[in-house]
Amino acid sequence: MTAQIPDLFLCKGFEYSLAGISEGALFGPSMFGLEPVANCSACWRGYQAVFALADSCLVLATQHVELCEKEGHFVWKEGPPINRVLPIGPMQARDLFNNHYVGINHPLDYTGGLLLARGFFRELYVHMGFHPAWKYDEVVELIFDKGMLQDEYDRSKRIARIRERILKAAERGDGKDRRTIEEIWDFVESSFDRKYRR
């Protein structure tokens, strides 16, 4: 298993990883009738979303997705237009996605918080799921009401304290792995869940 490619958020000239979602689902390609397929272990969902703000409104700016038809084997499939934007095919030889919707700017009616993170600590890399906010140096929380930005908070110091507690707790371990199968399964499931409590 590999760490998963994160969704991204473009904000104030920076590219952040989307590290947390407080309420339900933010987006899914099925809202456009797309059925992505996984083509590598780093993207089991078969897609990557890029979000942004447009006049304080939350939008899906870009959508990268792998679409295939099965005719004895998988063959490339061109997706339908989204917001009158046609997909661009693979951008390079080893592209993870075969449909790139650039500049969609589709408004999203999301209410809740999002944790945006950048400055990943490479020494905290784990071969599993999405990396949580505490593994990043800079963390910003954006609060939305029906897709409109309401508040923005710098959570970097709070997250640094959480990271310190987690790392200290890990150091206190005796080095023996005593996890049950159930605990391991819970860990795997939580690695793919980006929910957080506000």
Residue range 43-57, pLDDT digits in tens: 888 999 999 999 999
- Cβ contacts of residue 181 below 8 Å, gap of 6+? none
Sign of CA dihedral 39, 45, 128, 124: positive
Q: Where are the beta strands (DSSP E) in the chain?
A: 8-11, 14-21, 47-54, 57-65, 68-70, 74-76, 99-107, 112-120, 136-145, 148-154
Check: pTM over 0.85? Answer yes or no.
Answer: no
Q: So what's the pLDDT on residue 3?
A: 81
d(CA 87, CA 99): 5
Residue ranges of domains in the chain:
27-107
State pLDDT tens for residues 21-43: 999 888 899 999 999 988 788 88
